[in-house]
Amino acid sequence: MVYGSWLSTQKMTNRRYTCAYCDSLVAPSSGYLCDRAAGAPLGRIVICPNCNNPTFLKYDDLGGVTQYPHPSYKEKIDYLPKDIESIYNEIKICISNQAYTAVVLLARKVLMNIAVDSGAKEGRKFIEYVDYLEDIGTIPKDGRGWVDVIRKAGNTATHEIPSIDSKTAHDVLTFLEFLLRIKYEMPGKMAKDYNK
C-alpha cells in the first residue's frame, strides 16, 4: 500500500531497476530529473510504484547508471556455522554497498575461520590456513588457483594502496561461495535429506 504522494513529480521514460527497499523489479514513469547545464542529464530520482520509496539513478558520461541505494545481495548459503555466517552476512552488506576492499578482506577472514573450524590451530599465517584447507581436501583438487585469487586479492587489500575493483570483489565472492557450499551447504543438505 502506498502512503502519501510525492509533490511536483514529472512524467519520464520508464527505467527498470530493482528497488532496494521492497526488492521489487519496477519501472516507474514519474520522478525528478536532474539536468546538467549542458549535455545529458546527471540522473533522476524515481519513486517505486510498489513501496513509494525514492531511488537515485546516477548517469555517468559513458551511459552507465549507478543506483542509490543499491539492491541487497540476496545469495543465501545454508548450514554455515554461526561465526562464519555472521562474516558472510557482512560480506553481503559490503558487496551491496560497493565496499569492495572490505569484501576481499572479509573473504580472507572467512577462509581463516573455515580452516580453524576444520581443525587448524589459531594464530597461524594466512598461507598456512590455505595450505591446511588444501591438505585436508576442503579445497578441491583443481581449486587451489581460485582460492589463491582470494589470498592474493586479500594481500593486495591488506598491504597495497589501490582499492579493490568490482570485478575482483565479485570474483572473490563467487569463489568463496563455492567453497562454502562444498564445505557446509552440500554436507548439510545430505545429512538432512538423505541420511535419515
* pLDDT cut 90: percent of the chain above it: 55
Rounded CA separation 3/194 (Å): 48
First CA to last CA across the chain, in angstroms? 45
Rounded CA separation 25/14 (Å): 12
The structural domains of the chain, ordered by start, are 10-68 (no CATH), 82-193 (1.20.120)
Whose CA is closest to 15, among 7, 4, 1, 26?
Answer: 26
Longest dimension (CA), the chain: 68
pTM of the model: 0.74
* pLDDT cut 70: percent of the chain above it: 96
How do residues 136-157 score in pLDDT, each as one tens digit? 999 988 888 888 888 888 888 8
How do residues 83-98 score in pLDDT, each as one tens digit? 999 999 999 999 988 8
Mean per-residue pLDDT for 169-173? 93
Q: Which cell goes with 118?
A: 576444520
Length of the chain: 196
Rounded CA separation 22/164 (Å): 29
